[in-house]
Structure 1
Amino acid sequence: MNQIELPETMSAVVLTGHGGLEKLEYREDIKVPRPEAGEVLIRVGASAINNTDINTRTGWYSKGVTTGTEEGAASGFASANQDDGAWSGKPLNFPLIQGADVCGTIVGVGDSVDSGRIGERVLVRPMQQAPDNPSSYNLITFGSECNGGYAEYAVARSSEVFAVNSSLSDAELASFPCAYSTAEGMLEKADLKNGERILITGASGGVGSAAIQLAKRRGAEVIAVSGETKFEEVRRLGADHVIARGQSLLNSLEKDSIKVVADLVAGPQWPELLEVLARGGRYVASGAIAGPMVELDVRTLYLKDLSLLGSTWQPKKVFENLIGYIERNEIRPVVAKKYALRDVVHAQEDFMAKRFSGKLAIEVANQNL
């Protein structure tokens, strides 16, 4: 193993189990990890808050939970089953360091990794190919099946760590990996093309705001759904038209007028999404914050020749392309507020309250915010 001189312990926020905010513990006595063969050690500059962090903490992914994410976001879900509370449907190993996003600098490498990587400024791919069985659709999430970025140091497989050349700050770069790769993965799965009309729900959130930019980059016309107080911010991101959250889509859009729906919300209004889709349209989902249980009229599905797509797994080219977009300044970060590592709980509270548009960053290297 090659590395610079390191401390024995570090600060980190540790998740002790599924439940409420009390399950998050800030500690300063966590042992600094050491990279094993094929791994690198990263001094974390910044991380960020994502829905998946909160959903994992609360156990919302459990099949025992049938409501939206807000209901148990602070306290957890009593109906969650500990055995399927993670997105993978498998039990997690606690204690766990969450944080799907990481921007930082490589400070050590394990055996079989080129020592020339030490000093690289990097981003970590959040959705990673499973190391033990690298077949298609078999993956792990950084900060879920392995420790993530809510810490001063993190280890990751060298093959999942990408050098990035950018003048953006660590906090700005940390806003990209999870949200933007999720959004790009959705658009890739739906095969969004130049000139097509796309409807994006949850458009003021991290993934939604990323999807707006990435859809515009592809030359699409963007219809965004967001809270009325965030209309101007959503328009600045590139949305061509904005619809108020909760308003009937059929009062604003004609039936059969949308080619692609990128849905992060689901919930009671879900049937309208299929009504506004054009014949042969594509629906892609990567979230269900308003509730995972929806009503489907199967006649709408088959009579309109619709395609319903789920999007979690991503081919590696999605993240490779994202690095290129960043380095060519084709997309921009949307960081609403920054927090110190010790304030992760406060950051999650603000995230759950939907006080801000875009991303909430955790400046790990700056404890004096």
Structure 2
Amino acid sequence: MAHASVSETTLPATMSAMLLTGHGGVDRLVYRDDVTLPSPGPGQVLVRVTATAKNNTDRKAREGLYPTKDKEEVASFAMGGSPTLTFPRIQGADIVGRVVAVGDGVDVGRLGERGLLDFNLYADSRPDINLTPDYYGHGADGGFAEYVALPSDQFHLVDKPDLADAELAAMGMCSYQTAYHMMTSAGVKAGERVLVTGASGGVGTALIQLCRVVGAIPYALSQADKAPALKALGAEAVFDRGEIAELERQVRAATGDRPLDAVMDLVGGEMTDRFIDAMIFDMKARTTYPRLSIAGASGGNLSEIMWTRIYLYQVQIFGVSHGTRDEAAQLIEWIRTGQLKPVLHGAFRLSDLHRAEEYFVDRGKGFLGKIVIVPDAQWEAHGAAFALDAGATDA
């Protein structure tokens, strides 16, 4: 065991955590209070978790919805060759908390710091590329627990008293870094018209904000009842997902008959062709190639597209999962300077994660942003103020 310096009090030997015991339904998530406390290794910090944002990847990894060869395969990330999701595993990628111990080589001055995790398990130290994406909560234990050991250089200090821990977790890298990498991959620039699909979720709300930060003009695709909130967040206009067959007409009306420059897509499925239509209906009006950046498939994992539409219209397609160290550093700076704002929907206790998962799947009218999971021992201090009312949590 690596030597560790401990803060004010002696740490317990065990902790409470939610263990994922295998692929399947929420019954595979087992809450235990006798899990061995992790110890920080060299270059690591031990963090007392105060809030961890829930992401769709938690559910998809649990259900094995990441096939790359056989569409019927039950699988998870294995970009580096062999699968890294082993059981039991503690999920939860977007971790906020305070440093309570440090491993060898870490400055003891970090004790007590509040931070936000860059969630990636990087294969190497390159700052500008990430070819084998994996993450905490998947290839290593994450934040659905009372404590977690993390790399010191990826647990970034965010000393902003105006941001509650739950709000900071809602700005976690899993959503914001994915969103930013979608934009950098497609080369989104100031002044460009960008469609954000799946706009009410964590990545979608991050994309809307990030477009405004870099000077691009975001248009949102979502349910009609969410239009006021999305416009308040920064969307130029909101297109009704229920009228997807009329997307080109909606775009023309909102842009003055100008095509979209790029689409940041989290939906896929049968809608993909509609998104391409919205970029190519007037190629003479374009000054750049049409760009489709894809980081999700909530509308279906298979899309039927004529390749002639892709190569004759020179549509550039970018597949995106995780981002880079450089992008994480930029996002942390924007969070510290207040250029990005939290979109927190509500909080659940860690012991109530089953209900949080069910609520997340059934989310509908009124849902915007992120759900955050707070350890029971931290609930009064960091979760209670953001609790969903009883009627909502019973949904």
Q: Which position in structure 2 is the counterpart of 1:192?
A: 188
The whole-number CA distance in structure 2 between the counterparts of 1:236 and 1:349 is 28
Give the TM-score, by structure 1 length.
0.91
In the TM superposition, what is the alpha-carbon distance from 1:26 to its structure 2 partner? 1.1
Which segment drifts farther, 101-110 or 137-146? 137-146
Q: Which position in structure 2 is the counterpart of 1:86?
A: 77
Summarize the alignment of residues 59-78 of structure 1 with structure 2, pairs less than 5 Å apart: 59-63=64-68, 66=71
Gaps of 5+ in 1: 67-78
Q: Which position in structure 2 is the counterpart of 1:331?
A: 340
Q: Which position in structure 2 is the counterpart of 1:70?
A: none
Q: Deviations over 1:225-263 (max 9, x none)?
A: 001221111111111111111322123124870111000
Gaps of 5+ in 2: 284-288, 385-395
Number of aligned residue pairs: 355
SS at match of 2:153: helix
Sequence identity of aligned pairs in percent?
Answer: 38
Q: Which position in structure 2 is the counterpart of 1:72?
A: none
Which segment drifts farther, 257-266 or 305-314? 305-314
The whole-number CA distance in structure 2 between the counterparts of 1:294 and 1:334 is 30
Summarize the alignment of residues 1-369 of structure 1 with structure 2, pairs less than 5 Å apart: 1-4=4-7, 5-63=10-68, 66=71, 79-81=72-74, 84-86=75-77, 88=79, 90-91=82-83, 92-130=85-123, 136-167=130-161, 168-177=163-172, 178-247=174-243, 248=245, 249-254=247-252, 257-278=259-280, 279=283, 280-355=289-364, 356-364=367-375, 365-367=377-379, 369=384
SS at match of 2:219: strand
Say if 1:310 and 1:289 are closer, same or farther in 2 by CA, change over 3 A. same
In the TM superposition, what is the alpha-carbon distance from 1:35 to its structure 2 partner? 0.7
In the TM superposition, what is the alpha-carbon distance from 1:164 to its structure 2 partner? 1.1
In the TM superposition, what is the alpha-carbon distance from 1:87 to its structure 2 partner? 6.1
The whole-number CA distance in structure 1 between the counterparts of 2:260 and 2:159 is 37
Give the TM-score, by structure 2 length.
0.85
Q: Is the 8 A contact 2:101 2:111 kept in 1?
A: yes
Q: Is the 8 A contact 2:271 2:299 kept in 1?
A: no
More helix by share: 2
Q: Deviations over 1:270-306 (max 9, x none)?
A: 1111121245111101111111110121111111122
SS at match of 2:184: helix
In the TM superposition, what is the alpha-carbon distance from 1:11 to its structure 2 partner? 0.8
The whole-number CA distance in structure 2 between the counterparts of 1:289 and 1:65 is 18
In the TM superposition, what is the alpha-carbon distance from 1:133 to its structure 2 partner? 10
The whole-number CA distance in structure 1 between the counterparts of 2:53 and 2:130 is 28
SS at match of 1:253: helix
Say if 1:270 and 1:87 are closer, same or farther in 2 by CA, change over 3 A. farther
Q: Deviations over 1:94-114 (max 9, x none)?
A: 000000110111111111222
SS at match of 2:251: coil
Q: Deviations over 1:108-134 (max 9, x none)?
A: 111122222111111111123126999
In the TM superposition, what is the alpha-carbon distance from 1:367 to its structure 2 partner? 3.8
The whole-number CA distance in structure 2 between the counterparts of 1:189 and 1:153 is 34
Report the AA paired with residue 156 of structure 1: L
SS at match of 2:359: helix
Q: Is the 8 A contact 1:201 1:263 kept in 2?
A: yes
Say if 1:154 and 1:133 are closer, same or farther in 2 by CA, change over 3 A. same
Say if 1:11 and 1:49 are closer, same or farther in 2 by CA, change over 3 A. same
